[in-house]
Chain A
Amino acid sequence: QQQVKQSPQSLIVQKGGISIINCAYENTAFDYFPWYQQFPGKGPALLIAIRPDVSEKKEGRFTISFNKSAKQFSLHIMDSQPGDSATYFCAASQGGGGNKLTFGTGTQLKVEL
């Protein structure tokens, strides 16, 4: 039972381009939607998070877009850099925080020069 569906599984983007990763969820009780970034050999680390009372959140080159009616949210990486090459996981939880997160399946991003 996959409650958070993530796509694509892998993504190759040219340096300076926009990377877009999409997630869809089923449980309407979810109220916290973080994105985690994982580099090889490291654990995931929080990148950016959003709550459903806003439709967009931006932190530097990273933006989350949130569509409550469609039950979808996405990560946009502007001006993608080789250092952004990593695996990205979307996640969702009920109760407003990091407890009992349900993760997506992950997207392996490669940014080429």
Chain B
Amino acid sequence: DVKVTQSSRYLVKRTGEKVFLECVQDMDHENMFWYRQDPGLGLRLIYFSYDVKMKEKGDIPEGYSVSREKKERFSLILESASTNQTSMYLCASNQNNSPLHFGNGTRLTVT
């Protein structure tokens, strides 16, 4: 069974801090994605990666960056956290065009 693990379930950070959200998948999937989930807005794609060291912007990349140094790991970076980045962050992975497998999310609060 595919497992996508997000390192933190809950995270509280201060405005201006640099924040790292980590995601690991155990199925050797080529593709990895970061979404944020907000009430009334659904899931919105931040960044995705089709290969190691490769990244592409999604629909809302502003204020975020990503890193994929190893195939199984995809990190989301908030360079300078702001209160409007308080949200649920979901990591997902898939192979080719197979269905997405999501992690259980990291709820980030920026105060």
8 contacts between A and B (CB under 8 A): A43-B90, A43-B104, A46-B100, A96-B97, A97-B98, A101-B100, A103-B35, A106-B40
Interface residues of B, count at CB 8 A? 24
Contact of B99 among A6, A46, A103 (CB under 8 A): A46
CB neighbours of B40 from chain A (8 A) = 9, 105-106
Do the beta carbons of B4 and A103 come within 8 Å of each other? no
Q: Is the CB of B99 within 8 A of A98?
A: yes
- By a CB distance below 8 angstroms, the chain A residues around B74 are none
Output the nearest chain B residue to A105 by Cβ-Cβ distance.
B42
- Choose one: B42, B45, B99; the contact of A100 (CB below 8 Å): B45
Q: How distant is A109 from chain B, measured CB to nearest CB, in Å? A: 15
Known: A43-B90, A43-B92, A44-B102. A103 touches B97 (CB 8 A): no
Q: Is A95 positioned at the interface, with any CB of B under 8 Å from its CB?
A: yes
Bound form: Cα–Cα A99–B58 in Å: 11
Contact at B42–A104, with CB atoms within 8 Å? yes
What mask results when residues 33 to 51 of chain B are scored 1 for a CB within 8 Å of chain A, else 0?
0010000111111001000
Interface residues of A (CB under 8 A from B): 6, 9, 32, 34, 41-46, 49, 89, 91, 95-106
A44 contacts B97, C-beta separation under 8 Å: no
- Please, which residue of chain B has its CB at the minimum distance from the CB of A95? B97
**Chain B 6-39 per-residue mask, 1 if CB under 8 angstroms from chain A, else 0:** 0000000000000000000000000100010000
A97 to B97, Cβ gap below 8 A?
yes
Closest to A9 in B: B40
Are B41 and A105 in touch, CB under 8 angstroms?
Answer: yes
B31, B92, B100, B103: residue with the most chain A Cβ atoms closer than 10 Å? B100
The smallest beta-carbon distance between A6 and chain B, in angstroms, is: 7
Chain B residues, Cβ within 8 Å of A34: 99
